[in-house]
Amino acid sequence: MPEVLAAAFATPGLIWVVFAAALSGCVRGFAGFGTAMVFLPIAGQHLGPVAALVALAIMDGFGPIPNLPRAWRDGQPHDVARLIAGLVVTLPVGVYLLGLLDPQAFRYIVSCVALALLACLVLGLRYQGQVRPPMVYGIGGVSGILGGVSGIPGPPVILFYMASPLPAAAIRANNMLFLFAFDWLFLGMLALRGSLTLEAVLVGALIVVPNALGNIFGAALFRPGHARSYRGVAYVIIAASALSGLPIWG
């Protein structure tokens, strides 16, 4: 055990992984989303695909806990439950596809998914029709495949909620609840596949506190009346992280 712990502390680029954890927590705290889109492009430069996703899931399974009571009050748990039901069905497919990726392909997918969502958000692209319950299950299903293969399940859900008339606080809360549920389901799936290594789990444990502090700080900054400003800041951070994660830089 001491040897494994020492190996976790000796992870190349660990300081950048810690920085990414704190920064992504801050974005999650004030925007309600963005953890994976900020964390993975940076962490993916220093960890393998599965190790980066395990660290993310461990970190993100604990970091948002201080904000969950508020999210439960502000959100719509029944809607989140439909999304989770769709997620459970398709997540195994995404995790299977993850096992086929090499590290460079993983970095391209993560950065491109983040940049594609960012483009949709900036351009205001969204579904204009009425969203009925069966469609919510389908959105959860798409998120399951995307989340399993890239660790970023949020884009379909975020775009779905952008089309809804819900207030900013409710959208932020629903995203937070859904992503929290994804993290634990994803960890369970990796455990069933035997993909959880002790070293990756320890790296995830090391960055829980920086991520939690980032979540607390970001939540303290959140003011519903300034939602547009928060989104703008989140967009800039996501873009910088995604661009830095592209393998073209080395």
Question: Across residues 124-152, what is the average pLDDT?
Answer: 83
pLDDT band, residue 206 (cuts 50/70/90): very high
| pLDDT given at position 30 | 79
Q: How many CA atoms lie within 13 A of 66 on its CB side?
A: 18
| pLDDT given at position 140 | 94
| pLDDT given at position 181 | 93
Of the given ranges (15-24, 116-125, 173-182), which has the lowest mean pLDDT?
A: 116-125
Q: What is the largest CA-CA distance in the chain?
A: 56
How long, in residues, is the chain? Answer: 250
The pLDDT tens digits for 188-202 are 998 888 888 888 899
Choice between 96 and 9, residue whose per-residue pLDDT is larger: 96
CA distance 185 to 78: 18
Choice between 228 and 35, residue whose per-residue pLDDT is larger: 35
| pLDDT given at position 145 | 93
| pLDDT given at position 249 | 63
CA distance 137 to 143: 10
Q: What is the pTM of this model?
A: 0.79
pLDDT band, residue 234 (cuts 50/70/90): confident
Total count of domains within the chain? 1
User: 55 is in which domain, residue-wise?
Assistant: 2-249
The pLDDT tens digits for 64-88 are 788 889 999 998 888 899 999 999 9
3-state secondary structure of 216: helix
